[in-house]
Amino acid sequence: MPMIKIYMNFGVNTKYYITIMTRTAAAILTIIAVAAVTAPVCAQDGLVRVPGGAFTRGSEGGKADEQPARAIRMAPFGMMAREVTEAQYQTCVDGGGCAPAHYDNGGCMAWTGRSFMRVTVPTHLRGANLPVVCVTWQQARAYCASQGMRLPTEAQWEYAAAGGSPSSQYSWGASPPDNSRCAVGSLKNAGSFAPNGYGLYDMTGNAWEWTADFYAADFYETADDANPAGPPAGYYRVIRGGGWYSGADEMRIRNRHWFAPTFAEVSVGFRCVK
C-alpha cells in the first residue's frame, strides 16, 4: 500500500509525523506522535457535588457565539470527577449496554490542519485509564444512561469548569495551558493533573467533552437565566474543554465547539452528571 509521510504542527507547540496510507475509496491516517479546596467526592459513584449558585456565562470579549455574557443561576448537581475512561466504557460494551468505540473500525477522525481524515488509533492513545475517545454523542449518551446519569447541559459544563472562580480562563485560572497543568500533546490518564476548585479533573485539555445541548450560535441571546437547557432542535451537539492537540484558545472554558452527533474524533470523550 502506498504511504506518504507528512510532518505537521497541530498547535500548542506539538508536532506529529502523520503517515497517510492511500486507498481507492478513502485515506486512512495514523497519528504517530507525539491547592484549591475541593468539593467532596461520593465514593459510591465517583460524583463530585457541584454547588448551586450564580455565574456569568459567556464572554463579552470572546467569540461571537460566546456573547452576550449573561448572569445565570444554577441548581446543584453531581458530576463525574474524571472523564469516562476506556476501561469504564469497555465494561459497558462487554455488558451489552454500549457500542464499541471507533478505535479500530475506520470510524474515528482526526484534524490534519486542513481537513478531517479517518484514523487508525495508535497504541499510545489507548489504555484502560485514558479517557475514552472516538465515541459519538449517541454513544456517550447511551453510556451515561446505562449508569443512571446523563450528559451535562452546556451551562452545567461551563459552570462546573470554572470551579467557583468566575474569572478563570481555564479550569486552573488564567495561566496558559502547558504540560504542568493539563494534557497537551497526548492523552494522559484521567485525573493526572490537579483538580479545579470543585474537585473536577481535566476540565481543560485531555479530551473534549460532549454535552447534551444542540449548538446554536445565537443561543445565549435568548436562553433562560436559570438552569438553561440547550435549543429545542438543531443538527450539531456542543463539545467543550479542548483536547490533547487543541490550541490555547480552544481550551478556554468559555469556548464553544460542535460536531454532528454521529461524529467520532480522536480527541473527543465525555463525562456524566446526575
DSSP states of 90-107 as a string?
HHHHHTTSSPPPSSSSS-
pLDDT score of 3: 37
Beta-ladder partners of 118: 28, 109
What are the grid coordinates assigned to 216, written together?
446554536
> Residue 116 burial by CB count (10 A; 0-12/13-18/19+): exposed, middle or buried?
middle
Sites in the chain below the pLDDT cut of 50: 1-44
pLDDT score of 8: 36
67 Cβ neighbours under 8 A, 6+ residues apart: 58, 59, 60, 220
Q: Find out whether 209 and 239 touch, Cβ atoms under 8 Å.
A: yes
- Please state which of the four CATH numbers 3.40.50.970, 3.30.450.40, 3.30.479.20, 3.90.1580.10 is assigned to the domain occupying 39-99+124-269: 3.90.1580.10
pLDDT score of 254: 96
Pick from 267, 274, 271, 241: nearest CA to 102:
267
pLDDT score of 188: 97
pLDDT score of 45: 56
Distance between CA 57 and CA 105 in Å, rounded? 38
Pairing verdict, β 77-80 and 47-50? antiparallel
pLDDT score of 37: 38
Q: Find out whether 87 and 138 touch, Cβ atoms under 8 Å.
A: no
Beta-ladder partners of 117: 110
Handedness of CA 127, 257, 61, 167 (dihedral sign): negative
Query: Could you give phi then psi for residue 139, rounded to 5 degrees?
Result: -70, -40
Distance between CA 110 and CA 248 in Å, rounded? 18
SS3 224: coil
Question: Quick one: DSSP state of residue 28?
Answer: E
Q: Residue 222 region, left (φ>0) first, then alpha (ψ -120 to 50), else beta?
A: alpha
pTM as predicted: 0.84
How many CB atoms neighbour CB 274 within 10 A?
A: 16
Question: What does the pLDDT look like over 166-187, one tens digit per residue?
Answer: 889 999 999 999 999 999 999 9
Cell numbers 507525539 correspond to 34
Query: Could you give phi then psi for residue 81, rounded to 5 degrees?
Result: -65, -30
How many CB atoms neighbour CB 217 within 10 A?
A: 13
pLDDT score of 167: 81
What is the b/e burial string over 131-166, where b = at least 16 CB atoms within 10 angstroms of the residue's CB? Answer: bbbbbbbebbbebbeebebebbbbbbbbbbbbbbbe
Q: Find out whether 182 and 207 touch, Cβ atoms under 8 Å.
A: no
